[in-house]
Amino acid sequence: MNTLKKKSKFKHALYLILALAMLVYALPLISFQPGAGWISLFGAVWAGFAFLVIGAHLHFILGVNEDKQRALDAIRLEKYKEWQEKWLKEGKRGQSL
């Protein structure tokens, strides 16, 4: 599980670097001058989404909600076990018919 977490953090770090690179490349090209109209609006919205992506990856890398993630993983595991038991019971019931 630990290596899986490291792979996941590496993936998020890579995506964070890519998003930062795109933002650094695009911000000087976006025109925020008066009269640009839709171009300025599109540039601002695009930059806003880029900042959201960067923030989401930083949030994951820094592990702000590790306790919450552990709780969600425990719930997911319990649901998986319930699903597996239900599936096995249905499989046995189908064999006896």
Q: pLDDT tens digits for 43-88?
A: 889 999 999 999 999 988 887 677 777 888 899 999 999 999 888 8
Same domain, 69 and 58: no
Range of the domain at 2: 1-64
Looking at residue 32, its pLDDT comes to 73
- C-alpha pair distances (Å), 34 with each of 26, 39, 40, 41, 44: 19, 10, 8, 11, 13
Same domain, 59 and 70: no
> If pLDDT is split at 50, 70 and 90, which confidence band does 95 have?
low
Same domain, 2 and 49: yes
Looking at residue 31, its pLDDT comes to 74
Same domain, 53 and 35: yes
Q: pLDDT tens digits for 9-47?
A: 889 899 999 999 999 998 888 777 777 788 888 888 999
Same domain, 52 and 79: no
> If pLDDT is split at 50, 70 and 90, which confidence band does 97 have?
low
Alpha carbon distance 12, 7 (integer Å): 9
Looking at residue 68, its pLDDT comes to 79
User: Considering its fold, how many domains does the chain have in total?
Assistant: 2
Looking at residue 28, its pLDDT comes to 84
Other beta carbons within 10 Å of 38 = 7
